Amino acid sequence: MKSRWLILTVIVVAIALPWCFYDWGHHRHAGFLISMLSQMGMMVILALSYNMLLGQAGLFSLCHATFFGMGGYATIHFLNAAGDGGLPLPMEVMPLLAGLAGLGLAILFGSMATKQRATAFAMITLGISELMATAALMFHHFFGGEGGVTTNRMIDNSVFGLTYASGLQVYYLILAWTVIATGLMYFLTLTPLGRMANATRDNFERAQFIGYDPRMVRFLQFALSGFFAGIGGGLYAITYEIVTFDALAAPLSANALLMAYIGGTSVFGGPILGAILITLLQSGVSLLSNSWLVYVGVMFIAMVIFAPTGLAGIIKAHGPIQQAGRMRGLLVPYLRLVIPALGLLLGFVGLVELMSFLTIGAAQGKKLVLFGSAIDVHAMLPWAISIGSLVVGGLWLRWEASGFHRVWEDLAAEVRR
Amino acid sequence: METLLISVINGLVYGMLLFMLASGLTLIFSMMGVLNFAHASIYMVGAYLAFTVSRFLGFFPALIIAPVLCGLIGAAIEIWGLRRVHHNGHIAELLFTFGLVFIIQRLVQMTWGMLPMAYRVPPSLDFPLFVMYGANFPAYRGFMLLVSATMLLGTWVLLKKTRIGLIIQAALTHPSMVSALGHNVPRVFTTVFAGGCLLAGLAGVIGGNYQTTEPGMADSMGPIVFVVVVFGGLGSLAGCFVASMIMGMIQTFAVVIDYSIADFLRPLGVVFTGDTLLTEVLTVPVARIGALLPFIMMVTILFFRPRGLMGTRDT
Amino acid sequence: MTSSVRRLCFAFVALSLILAIRPAVAEDTIKVGYVDPFSGPFASGGDEFLKVFAYILAKVNADGGALGKKFELVPFDDKLQPAEALIALKSITDQNIPFVMQCTGSNVGAALLDGVAKHNARNPDNRVLYLNCGALATELTNEQCDFWQFRFAGNVEMRAVARIKALPKDVTKVYLLNQDYLFGQSIQHDTRKWLAKLRPDIQVVGDELMPFGKVQDFSPYIAKIKASGAQSVVTGNYNRDLNLLIKAAVDDGLNVRFDTYLAHLIGGPTAIGAAGENRLTSIVEFDPNVPVDLKKPDAEAFSNGWRANHSTDFSEVPFLTMFQMLARAINTAGSTDALKVALALEDMKATDLVGAPVQMRKEDHQILMPFYAASFSRDVKYDAEKTGLGWKTYFTATTEDLTLPTVCKMKRPQS
């Protein structure tokens, strides 16, 4: 019951958000915000479809972007055909065609890759990913080489009579397809295939004993995840109207992994959270700092060490306590954590930015502006503050964390009773 | 005949370079089941450290110091990072090393800048060793062969003939038993990881001035090294060696082959005309896809034999 | 608070924070959005250019800027990916920045060109100009030309003509080796085309494409080159793919010329070193010895001003020309309106730093400029990247030489 309201709220917020940031002065929408929201939608589909493999089937795939990219390339060609009049299908159906392209390719590659599991599977997918990325650079006919292939999304064929000239209309199309795809992926987890995927992840020998072929389960899961990834790729093609080899290269697969893992692989909604967060980080933080890769790397490592269940896992762990109505007991411990955590963050960010500026940024003619005030890199004070903040914040956090841990354990034990 | 001989020697040297890099990774992979994505990054750090050290102390001291530093870095990573992640599973370990790649690259960029470093072959080794069919064989390549052969021999002797090697081998398959016998198994793991990083650092010292020392070097060497390790198989240093040789030879010989699939089909009367995707794919000469052949081979062997060429356990 | 509400709050706060914290920029400047890779493995390019632009803009602003205002760069990191560049474009248009500039990568360039064209068509009240300072694919001012793009860099075909004309008369056998992607294939195509037209006496004894950035060991290629009997290797390879190639040739003792397109790129001289002496040539827009040969002390002083503080050389004269012409166009147009500036900019004639005549051709918005063929030698006043060797001009391809026909059929806007 609760979760239904949550889903409804999220959808309403997603629809309303562009209007909250409307630029009344220039009478237009904030293009950057709509771009970022559109990107989030595509990434949500990518991350969720990746989690079908990682979280639900225990398959570590390194070629997920291949299906996303191929869906994108196929859609560009479909759109070009539609624009020339050769393909009389409306725009709203294009992502479905993209999904079918992804499905076809996933069936082909899946028959090779899913014969194995675990690391052998991962290595086969790595090989596939490298091959496809290089092929995209070499062959012009389908891939267009380094420049990629372009299209014009105004094909004049829409069920709702829209032109898709404005980013806002495209965003709503993406939103609609994201909701549909998410819903379908969720229902898949409730089907026997979804359940058996979990079973083969947990103990494939036992799954074999009860009569299911783990290979078949892996293959079907792989194929379907390719279908959804293809849908994401189709939306990518419609939004940017250009697809280059980056859309199927390894960094995008790495992104999918990042999003799914940080969001949380054990909860269905985890990758959604991860996709939103990572998109914010990459598009937003990279506007502020060129060391954003360090922050992503550190955050990733911190999650892997301290919170392997991901953000959603952490939130879910609060479930029993919340249901028992004992969340109040956590309020003060959390506050006590927040302050040293902020100190630690301030110290770390300050140190990284100072070091980066010293070696890279100064020569670029930029001035270091942290939290709104200009900083002189050669003075002792900023360094002292950063290092002090880092050390003090770190030690204090450790002390508070053990206290928090005790409170948590007590509450959890109480709730269990 | 001339082409054959030259290609064989070239393939041999390239294979040994691959082996230098892959040996450390295979050790770590075999012992701990962790595919260390940051291995190529340690290789890069080794090259940069060697450059800096050799500027003050010369090349040969750098040959000792830089790998030791890399080994220490590896030990630090293992003790404070990897060890905590062990109990979260293999994927968590993979992801941890994955996150390290970004951090190490940015740190290298911040410390040494973004441009290539002028790390050169030392003058004492910069002369032609012998001349064959009019082509020089540089002494530095001979030195590389020497170092990698020593590496292979030393690692093999260490593992098979010394006591610590026996403990390491035992800890691979029966860690709890070995621990019950009183050995410090976590320290064994740290030693192995540090040893693997030391080998990567050594490869970096040797390879950094043979190739170029720049922040992108980890990205270019990384994938091929994984292929070699996986192709060679787990638990087998000999398999890694054989795989490196095979990959080196194949890539070297592929470059000399200028024929394409269409060329092979032409004598049979099958001709491809027209400007289509199919024609494009079939008329690609083998030389153009030489660097891709290792991946094709890896996919093929994993399909039929998941433990790789000479692996002793399943991946 | 329930976890769901908390999640929403987090999302809202994060979003508004990100949007609120914008780089604080003064209002009395003319902003130019600069899109290039500043992070990841290709960051060295964007990083270096940013420093160069700081130096150039100091001069242009000191000379008066445009309309009494100074130019200001607003950098955006595209990580060398077209999608990121398009997102950056959205941010640029949101902030009403009238110019977007990009200097690295034809894949990103093609995407930006297309993105700007579509944006301007769909938003005629908020148009931007695309200043292309480094996407070199010939197609961008031929088949894919667009009214809203102005390319201030010599395209591949111009460089190919300069390259062929600069080949010595006694070279009769060349081996072509290029990277297997659009740029390398473009170089291969244009090199062959102009070899046939300008030097029919030259025999192409080898024509090879190699995987981009993936080859570790070049000795097989050296063996092939030797077997072919070529006197010169004409290659568009750069960075690692070139440095390793030359090292392999030196190791092997192969005595062949390397007539390259891009050996002068940052990092090249350092990596190649003494190995390249007297056998390496490149096609440069400018190097510190050009003003010495042409006897232009002002230009020499400008180049030295950069050298004094950096280990690299100033070679990006086209960047300076771009801003000088842009400033003139803005002054002529009286505003930064895209259409007015574009009409003022096209067909503009100017002189560059060393006094050579340049022109922004109206037909395809390609700048017509000279190139210099330089060889890597000790006999120079200024060396490159402190290696002891520098670039010595031995052939000049003038602006007129490099005024080539175009197939561009540009659609001009109504208003």
> Is the pLDDT assigned to residue A371 strictly greater than 90?
no
Average pLDDT for C358-366: 93
State residue C234 phi and psi, 5-degree precision. -100, 115
Contacts with C292 (C-beta within 8 Å, 6 or more apart), sequence order: C300, C381, C382
Q: What percent of chain C has pLDDT over 90?
A: 49
Q: Which of C371, C87, B33, B180 is nearest to A239 (CA)?
A: C87
Tell me the count of B-C CB pairs closer than 8 A. 119
| pLDDT tens-digit map of B8-32 | 887 888 888 888 888 888 888 877 7
Question: Would you call C217 and B131 a contact, using CB atoms and an 8 Å cutoff?
Answer: no
Residue C270 token pair: 């350092």
Rg value, chain C, Cα? 22
Residue C185 contacts B, CB cutoff 8 Å:
no
Residues of C in contact with A330 (CB under 8 A): none
Identify the pLDDT of residue C175.
94
**What is the Cα–Cα distance from B79 to B75, expressed in whole angstroms?**
6
Query: Confidence class of residue A233 from pLDDT cuts 50, 70 and 90?
Result: very high
Mutation target to probe the C interface, by most C beta carbons within 10 A, among B255, B281, B288 is B255
Terminal-residue alpha carbon distance, chain B: 40
Q: Which of C29, C22, C194, C37 is nearest to C104 (CA)?
A: C37
List the single residue in B with minimal CA-CA distance to A358.
B110
A19 CB-side CA count, 13 A: 7
pLDDT tens digit at each of 315 positions of chain B: 677 787 788 788 888 888 888 888 888 887 777 788 899 999 999 999 999 998 898 888 989 999 999 999 999 999 988 888 877 777 778 778 888 888 888 888 888 877 778 787 888 887 877 777 667 778 888 888 888 888 888 888 888 888 888 888 787 677 788 889 888 888 888 888 999 999 999 999 988 887 778 887 888 788 888 888 888 887 677 888 899 999 888 888 887 777 777 777 777 777 766 666 777 777 777 777 777 788 888 888 888 887 778 876 654
Chain A adjacent subunits, 3+ CB pairs under 8 A: B, C
Q: Which of C182, C109, C104, C106 is nearest to C148 (CA)?
A: C109
- Higher-confidence position of B139 and C405: C405
The 3 state secondary structure assigned to A333-360 is: HHHHHHHHHHHHHHHHHHHHHHHHHHHH
CA distance A233 to chain C (A): 12
Q: Any idea which residue has 């954590």 for tokens? A: A337
Bridge partners of residue C282, in order along the sequence: C374
Give the range among A110-114, A236-240, A383-387, C125-129 with minimum mean pLDDT: A383-387
A209 CB-side CA count, 13 A: 4
Identify the pLDDT of residue C173.
93
List the single residue in C with minimal CA-CA distance to A273.
C7
Identify the pLDDT of residue A66.
95
Question: Would you call B290 and C213 a contact, using CB atoms and an 8 Å cutoff?
Answer: no
Helix (H, G, I), strand (E, B) or coil at C142: coil
Q: Do A308 and A263 contact (CB within 8 A), yes or no?
A: no
Helix (H, G, I), strand (E, B) or coil at B296: helix
Name all domains of chain C by residue range, CATH numbers in brackets: 27-154+297-369 (3.40.50.2300), 157-284+371-397 (3.40.50.2300)
Residue C107 contacts A, CB cutoff 8 Å:
yes
| pLDDT tens-digit map of C170-188 | 999 999 999 887 788 889 9
Terminal-residue alpha carbon distance, chain A: 25
> Is the pLDDT assigned to residue C24 strictly greater than 80?
no
Residues of C in contact with B109 (CB under 8 A): 43
Residue A55 token pair: 């979280």
Identify the pLDDT of residue A373.
63
| pLDDT tens-digit map of B139-148 | 888 888 888 8
Residue type, C197: K
CA distance C195 to chain B (A): 23
Identify the pLDDT of residue A367.
63
**What is the Cα–Cα distance from B26 to B225, expressed in whole angstroms?**
10
Q: What percent of chain C has pLDDT over 70?
A: 93
**Which residue from B35, B276, B291 is facing A119, i.e. has the nearest CB?**
B35
Question: A278-282, A324-328, C210-214 — which one is most confidently predicted on average?
Answer: A278-282
| pLDDT tens-digit map of C126-150 | 899 999 999 998 888 998 899 999 9
Question: Would you call C217 and B292 a contact, using CB atoms and an 8 Å cutoff?
Answer: no
**Which residue from B7, B214, B219 is facing C267, i.e. has the nearest CB?**
B214
| Burial (Cβ within 10 Å: 0-12, 13-18, ≥19) of residue B314 | middle
Produce one character per residue of C157-170: b if its CB has 16 or more CB atoms within 10 Å, e if not. bbbbbbbbbbbeee
Identify the pLDDT of residue A144.
80
Residues of A in contact with B281 (CB under 8 A): 139
Mutation target to probe the A interface, by most A beta carbons within 10 A, among C49, C120, C181, C208 is C181
- Mean pLDDT across chain A: 85
- Provide the pairing of β-strand C232-235 with C367-368: unpaired
**What is the Cα–Cα distance from B296 to B57, expressed in whole angstroms?**
44
Residue C126 contacts B, CB cutoff 8 Å:
no
| pLDDT tens-digit map of A7-41 | 888 888 888 888 887 766 666 777 778 888 999 99
**What is the Cα–Cα distance from B76 to B53, expressed in whole angstroms?**
21
- Higher-confidence position of A87 and C18: A87
DSSP A369: E
CA distance A112 to chain B (A): 7
Helices marked H in chain B: 2-32, 39-57, 59-77, 83-85, 90-112, 139-161, 163-173, 175-180, 185-210, 217-232, 237-256, 261-265, 277-282, 293-304
Identify the pLDDT of residue A377.
65
Identify the pLDDT of residue B154.
86
Question: Would you call A294 and B99 a contact, using CB atoms and an 8 Å cutoff?
Answer: no
CA distance A200 to chain C (A): 31
| pLDDT tens-digit map of B202-255 | 999 988 887 778 887 888 788 888 888 888 887 677 888 899 999 888 888 887
Identify the pLDDT of residue C17.
44
Residue C54 contacts A, CB cutoff 8 Å:
yes
Identify the pLDDT of residue C154.
92
Residue A242 to residues A150, B102, B187, C149, Cα–Cα distance (Å) = 4, 28, 52, 17
Terminal-residue alpha carbon distance, chain C: 56
CA distance B21 to chain C (A): 13
Chain C adjacent subunits, 3+ CB pairs under 8 A: A, B
Residue B221 contacts A, CB cutoff 8 Å:
no
Q: Which of C305, C328, C400, C313 is nearest to C361 (CA)?
A: C400
| pLDDT tens-digit map of C59-118 | 999 998 888 899 999 988 888 888 888 888 988 988 889 999 999 888 889 889 999 998
Residue C180 contacts A, CB cutoff 8 Å:
yes
Q: Do A66 and A248 contact (CB within 8 A), yes or no?
A: yes
Identify the pLDDT of residue C18.
45
**What is the Cα–Cα distance from A304 to A257, expressed in whole angstroms?**
12
Residues of B in contact with C47 (CB under 8 A): 114
Helix (H, G, I), strand (E, B) or coil at A41: helix
Q: What percent of chain A has pLDDT over 70?
A: 93
Interface of B with A in 82-111 (CB under 8 A): 84-85, 88-92, 94-96, 98-103, 105-107, 109-111
> Is the pLDDT assigned to residue C153 strictly greater than 90?
yes
Question: Would you call B315 and A138 a contact, using CB atoms and an 8 Å cutoff?
Answer: no
Residue C306 contacts A, CB cutoff 8 Å:
no
Produce one character per residue of B228-244: b if its CB has 16 or more CB atoms within 10 Å, e if not. bbbbbbbbbbebbbbbb
Identify the pLDDT of residue C14.
46
> Is the pLDDT assigned to residue A185 strictly greater than 50?
yes
Residue B280 contacts A, CB cutoff 8 Å:
yes
Identify the pLDDT of residue A365.
55
**What is the Cα–Cα distance from C145 to C365, expressed in whole angstroms?**
8
List the single residue in C with minimal CA-CA distance to B128.
C251
Mutation target to probe the C interface, by most C beta carbons within 10 A, among A23, A39, A286 is A286
**What is the Cα–Cα distance from A58 to C295, expressed in whole angstroms?**
70
| pLDDT tens-digit map of C258-280 | 999 988 887 788 877 787 888 89
**Which residue from B10, B128, B251 is facing C223, i.e. has the nearest CB?**
B10
- Mean pLDDT across chain C: 86
Identify the pLDDT of residue A28.
72
Residues in chain B: 315
Q: Do A102 and A226 contact (CB within 8 A), yes or no?
A: yes
Rg value, chain B, Cα? 21
Mutation target to probe the B interface, by most B beta carbons within 10 A, among C205, C239, C251, C386 is C251
Average pLDDT for A77-88: 88
**What is the Cα–Cα distance from A121 to B74, expressed in whole angstroms?**
27
Identify the pLDDT of residue A49.
96
Contacts with B153 (C-beta within 8 Å, 6 or more apart), sequence order: none
Tell me the count of A-C CB pairs closer than 8 A. 148
Q: Which of C402, C406, C408, C344 is nearest to C66 (CA)?
A: C344
> Is the pLDDT assigned to residue C192 strictly greater than 90?
yes
Helix (H, G, I), strand (E, B) or coil at A10: helix
Residue A403 to residues A253, A330, A343, B80, C224, Cα–Cα distance (Å) = 39, 11, 18, 22, 70
**What is the Cα–Cα distance from B178 to B182, expressed in whole angstroms?**
7
